[in-house]
Amino acid sequence: MSKKVVNRGKNRQSSSTSRNLTIPVLAIAGWLTTILPNTAIAVNNDYSVCAGRLLSVGVTAEAASEGCAAALRPRDLAACVVKIDKETQIAATDALSSCGKARRPEELATCVVGVSLSTKEEANPAVLDYCGRSLLPVRFGQCVVGLRSQIDFPATQALDTCISADDSVIGASSSSTPPTIIPAGSNPSFESTPVPTQPLVPTQPGTN
């Protein structure tokens, strides 16, 4: 048998082996393609982060799952609960409900922490309730802290005073009618025909 014949046989064998190896490699590549997106979703998942952070501060698995699932921004919800738990005497389990109801959970947490420090933890449950009731929690918190820095009165009085003012400001802003703005360069037309002061009576034809 000549060398050329032997070489042809070896080439056929190597190409056959190459084809046999290509099929499993392609299958593995396709399998990786299907699982990699799922892995990315599992790693970078707001709900997973939310649940993990809530569990770390003592929230039960059931409460954490319900709270994170219902949250529009799960990371913000968790940040709100964790901040209140770490920086005040309010328990995470108590903060979860208020943080879940807040339109801006991080602003709620800022309010609760600031007011709690100002009141020296005198009214923790009340602080959480008042900040949760306010539609402008940061402004409400500034009101309580600012008044108590200059006026010596009980924390509950400051809370009541600022929540009343908060409601008044929101009511005034929602009921006020914005001014009419006429764009520059426009020439609005107004009715210029005078309105008759008396009704016109048709003239009767004369009789002969």
* Continuous H helices in 57-123: 61-70, 74-87, 92-101, 105-118
Residues 91 and 85 sit within 8 Å (Cβ to Cβ): yes
- The pLDDT-based confidence of 183 (bands split at 50, 70, 90) is very low
User: pLDDT digit string (tens) for 62-98?
Assistant: 999 999 999 999 999 999 999 999 999 999 999 999 9
Pairwise pLDDT comparison (165 vs 180), residue with the higher score: 165
User: pLDDT digit string (tens) for 124-159?
Assistant: 788 999 999 999 999 999 999 999 999 988 888 999
Q: Give the count of beta carbons closer than 10 Å to the beta carbon of residue 105.
A: 27
DSSP per-residue string spanning 164-180: HHHHHHHHHHHHSPPPP
Pairwise pLDDT comparison (7 vs 135), residue with the higher score: 135
pTM of the model: 0.62
92-101 vs 74-87: helix axis angle to the nearest 10? 140
Using DSSP's 3-state secondary structure scheme, residue 90 falls into coil
pLDDT of res. 149: 92
Q: What is the amino acid identity at position 201?
A: V
- The pLDDT-based confidence of 119 (bands split at 50, 70, 90) is confident
pLDDT of res. 120: 80
Percent of the chain, pLDDT > 70? 57
Sign of the CA dihedral with 188 first, then 193, 194, and 200 last: negative
